[in-house]
């Protein structure tokens, strides 16, 4: 193997990365992976204790981080963050817009307050970051944005009706923004995980029976961990994927295949 070639292809050395929802789960995994690939990571969240733990793990990986308390659903707070961050660092190379909440329910069961929470956090909370980071990247004529979608944004789940709908919205946002920023050398893609064990679903998968049933429904019979998503995102924003924009990388052990393909009946065509 040509180690120098591989290292240069995947290197994120010195890249300035902003990660939302870095105080827990997938965002924490992304922060550690980006740091392992050489990026300097800004960890965003609302919970200082969670951010401190991520900072400790980044340091353990030999990386450098700084933490910011920012509520993604508060546009003024997001603007204040970018004013401070860009003044300090002079630009931003990577945005991973990952923060999100999960509210379950069929479409007619979900309250309008829950709909507002999902739209304000999972959609507007991504959009505010994409606008500010995208603007800075356009000016510097380089950059990478990854929007955290979901397998439910590709194949909707009836019991996650509004969550799925908002993730479909993020898929549209990914393509629209990718089209606007491509000529400025800015790549925009989404990452769509299947089940990843984090705080967002611990109440469900702590029940062994639920975990077993879910595993059965996944073709690879594997549940995801934050590191799986983190390493994928690190590769997506590296030069190894330098021509990829406006697309979705599904990281779900094949879960979407099962949902889309009817099972064949033995003996019948």
**Minimum distance, C-beta of residue 10 to ligand NAP, in the bound complex (Å):** 23
Select the residue interacting with ligand NAP from 98, 174, 190, 238 (CB under 6 A). 98
Instruction: Answer for the pair 145, 188: CB distance below 8 angstroms, yes or no.
Output: yes
β 16-20/94-97 pair status? parallel
Task: Please give the residues from 7 up to 36 whose contact with ligand NAP meets the rule CB under 6 A.
Answer: 20-21, 23-27
Tell me the C-alpha to C-alpha distance, in Å, between residue 219 and each of 204, 211, 256: 20, 14, 9
- 42 binds ligand NAP per the rule CB under 6 A: no
Span interacting with ligand NAP, options 3-11, 35-43, 88-96, 100-108, rule CB under 6 A: 100-108
Instruction: Answer for the pair 140, 90: CB distance below 8 angstroms, yes or no.
Output: no
Instruction: Answer for the pair 250, 179: CB distance below 8 angstroms, yes or no.
Output: no
In angstroms, the CA 118 to CA 63 distance is: 33
Of the candidates 5, 73, 16, the residue with the CA atom closest to the CA atom of residue 45: 73
The catalytic residue positions are: 163
**Minimum distance, C-beta of residue 20 to ligand NAP, in the bound complex (Å):** 6
Q: Output 29 or 63, the one with its CB closest to ligand NAP.
A: 29
How many residues contact ligand NAP, by CB under 6 A? 30
Select the residue interacting with ligand NAP from 33, 67, 110, 150 (CB under 6 A). 150
Span interacting with ligand NAP, options 8-16, 39-47, 133-141, 179-187, rule CB under 6 A: 39-47
Length of the chain: 269
Q: Measured in Å, how far apart are the chain's first and last C-alpha atoms?
A: 46
Is the CA virtual torsion 37, 40, 45, 47 positive or negative?
positive
Of the candidates 211, 196, 145, the residue with the CA atom closest to the CA atom of residue 29: 196
Select the residue interacting with ligand NAP from 134, 193, 230, 253 (CB under 6 A). 193
**Minimum distance, C-beta of residue 267 to ligand NAP, in the bound complex (Å):** 37
- 41 binds ligand NAP per the rule CB under 6 A: no
Instruction: Answer for the pair 72, 20: CB distance below 8 angstroms, yes or no.
Output: yes
Task: Please give the residues from 103 up to 122 whose contact with ligand NAP meets the rule CB under 6 A.
Answer: 121
Structure tokens at 51: 């951010």
**Minimum distance, C-beta of residue 265 to ligand NAP, in the bound complex (Å):** 31
> Could you list the residues that contact ligand NAP (CB under 6 A)?
20-21, 23-27, 45-47, 50, 71-73, 98-102, 121, 125, 148, 150, 193, 195-196, 198-201
């Amino acid at each position: 193997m040509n180690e120098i070639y591989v290292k240069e292809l995947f290197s994120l050395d010195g890249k300035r990365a902003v990660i939302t929802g870095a105080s827990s789960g997938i965002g924490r995994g992304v922060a550690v992976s980006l740091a392992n690939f050489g990026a300097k990571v800004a960890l965003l969240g609302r919970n200082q204790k969670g951010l401190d733990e991520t900072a400790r793990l980044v340091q353990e990986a030999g990386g450098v981080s700084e933490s910011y308390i920012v509520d993604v659903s508060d546009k003024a707070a997001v603007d204040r963050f970018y004013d401070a961050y860009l003044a300090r660092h002079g630009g931003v190379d990577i945005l991973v817009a990952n923060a999100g909440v999960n509210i379950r329910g069929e479409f007619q069961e979900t309250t309008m307050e829950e709909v507002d929470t999902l739209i304000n956090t999972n959609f507007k909370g991504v959009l505010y970051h994409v606008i500010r980071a995208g603007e800075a990247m356009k000016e510097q004529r380089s950059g990478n944005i990854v929007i955290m979608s979901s397998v439910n944004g590709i194949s909707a789940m009836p019991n996650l009706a509004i969550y799925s709908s908002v993730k479909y919205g993020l898929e549209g946002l990914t393509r629209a923004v990718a089209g606007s920023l491509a000529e400025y050398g800015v790549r925009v893609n989404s990452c769509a995980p299947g089940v990843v064990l984090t705080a967002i679903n611990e109440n469900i998968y702590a029940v062994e029976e639920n975990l077993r049933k879910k595993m059965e429904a996944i073709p690879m019979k594997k549940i995801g961990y934050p590191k799986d998503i983190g390493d994928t995102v690190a590769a997506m924003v590296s030069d190894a994927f330098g021509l990829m924009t406006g697309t979705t990388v599904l990281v779900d052990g094949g879960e979407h295949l099962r949902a889309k393909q009817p099972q064949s009946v033995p003996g019948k065509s």
